[in-house]
Amino acid sequence: MARPPHAARGDIGRRVAARRLQLGLSREDVALRAGAAPGYIAYVEEQSATPGISFLLRLADALETTVHELTGGTVDLPGGLGRAAREARMVELGDTECWTLLGDHGVGRVALTHDDGPVVL
C-alpha cells in the first residue's frame, strides 16, 4: 500500500531508514536479518509506528546499532542538565537573547502570538 503524500513519519522510522541506507541494505535484507516481513519494515520506516521492545531489539541487531540509538536517546540534546523550577514564571526575552538561547541545537516547541491566537510549532 502506497503511503499518502503527507503521511506522518516517526522519528524511529527516519532513523531506521537512515541506518539501513548507511549500511547499504534493502528493506528485504533488514527484514531477513530481523525475522520480519519487508512490509513491516516499510511500515516502521514510513508511518508513525511504535514497535514493541522485542522487535526493536531484533531491528537494532539487524541494523548493527542499539535500541537507544534507534529511539533517539543520543540525538541533538542541548548541553547541560536542566531542572524545572518549583514555580514556573513567564519571562519575556528580547530577540537577541532568544536567538542566543536557541543556538545551534534542537528545540522542542516554539510558541508565537498570531491574530487568531497562540501558535505552537
pLDDT per residue as tens digits for the range 46-56:
998 889 999 99
The DSSP code sequence of 85-108 is -SS-------HHHHHHHHTTS--S
Domain assignment present for residue 37? The answer is: yes
Give residue 75's pLDDT: 63
Identity of the residue numbered 108: G
What's the pLDDT at 63?
97
What is the extent of the structural domain holding 53?
Answer: 11-70
Residue 61 domain flag: yes
Between CA 47 and CA 14 the distance in angstroms is: 9
Residues 6-40 have pLDDT tens digits of 334 568 999 999 999 999 999 999 999 999 999 99
How far apart are the C-alpha atoms of 50 and 35, rounded to whole Å?
A: 17
Strands 111-114 and 117-120 come out as antiparallel
Q: Residue type for 59, please?
A: L
The answer to whether residue 66 sits within a structural domain is yes
What is the helix (H) or strand (E) element at residue 60, kind and residue range? helix 53-62
User: pLDDT (tens digit, 9 = 90+) per residue, 83-119?
Assistant: 666 777 778 888 888 778 777 666 666 778 888 888 8
Q: What is the CATH number of the domain that holds 46?
A: 1.10.260.40
Cell of 51: 514497535
pLDDT digit string (tens) for 83-92?
666 777 778 8
Beta bridge partners of 18: none
Number of domains in the chain: 1
pLDDT (0 to 100) of residue 85: 66
